[in-house]
């Protein structure tokens, strides 16, 4: 069979053309990965989990406080599963289980409760990995005095 010169050149792409396209696609993929910054997004996702868990603990504390006859927060502040307040909230059914942090191994020590001496005021906090406020040690803190959670420095999260 005899092919004309014109048909011979219209069969497909050359190896050079394919390599150029693959190189361009590789450069575009690398640019997208750099722009997306997966490390930062992972930290933000972990912080969102911490904020949600602090909110759940705060809701459980408020439910315990408003239970008829209570009028105080459960005694025994502290951090993680060893915090007596978290154990009390779980035992009373205000909290299904003590939340574990999103860190390595799910460290429950991410969540801490501080109480004033008479257990009429409480604060719940967790350390953030990627705070909005900038570098340093920032906490997501809920305080019963204000009734809302905000980003604060470690020294200012008090009941």
- Give residue-wise pLDDT tens across range 132-148: 766 778 889 999 888 89
Residue 26 lies in a domain: no
Confidence of residue 10 (pLDDT cuts 50, 70, 90): low
pTM (2 decimals)? 0.75
Confidence of residue 21 (pLDDT cuts 50, 70, 90): very high
Residue 73 lies in a domain: yes
pLDDT at residue 55 in the model: 92
Using alpha carbons, select from 76, 65, 74 the residue that is nearest to residue 147. 65
Residue 78 lies in a domain: yes
Residue 9 lies in a domain: no
Residue 74 lies in a domain: yes
pLDDT at residue 8 in the model: 56
Q: What is the mean pLDDT of the chain?
A: 83
Is the Cβ–Cβ distance between 139 and 128 less than 8 Å?
Answer: yes
pLDDT at residue 141 in the model: 92
Total of domains in the chain: 1
Is 56 a residue whose pLDDT tops 90? Answer: yes
pLDDT at residue 107 in the model: 56
pLDDT at residue 2 in the model: 57
* pLDDT, tens digit, 9 for 90 and up, residues 58-107: 999 999 998 887 788 888 878 877 778 888 888 888 889 888 878 765 55
Residue 19 lies in a domain: no
How many angstroms separate the CA atoms of 130 and 46, rounded?
A: 9
Residue 24 lies in a domain: no
Residue 13 lies in a domain: no
pLDDT at residue 18 in the model: 92
Which range marks the domain in which residue 149 is found? 41-156
Residue 74 belongs to domain with CATH number: 3.30.1300.70
pLDDT at residue 87 in the model: 87
């Amino acid at each position: 069979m005899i092919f004309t010169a014109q048909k011979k050149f219209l069969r497909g792409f050359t190896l050079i053309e394919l390599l150029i396209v693959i190189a361009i696609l590789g450069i575009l993929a690398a640019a997208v990965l750099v722009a997306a910054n997966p490390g930062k997004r992972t930290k933000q996702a972990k912080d969102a989990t911490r904020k949600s868990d602090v909110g759940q603990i705060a809701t459980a504390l408020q439910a315990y406080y408003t239970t008829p006859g209570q009028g105080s927060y459960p005694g025994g502040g502290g951090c993680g599963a060893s915090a007596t307040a978290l154990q009390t909230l779980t035992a009373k059914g205000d909290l299904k289980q003590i939340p574990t942090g999103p860190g390595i191994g799910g460290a429950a020590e991410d969540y801490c409760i501080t109480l004033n001496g008479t257990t009429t005021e409480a604060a719940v906090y967790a350390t953030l990995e990627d705070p909005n406020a900038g570098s340093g040690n920032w906490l997501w803190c809920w305080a019963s005095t204000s009734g809302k959670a905000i980003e604060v420095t470690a020294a200012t999260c008090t009941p």
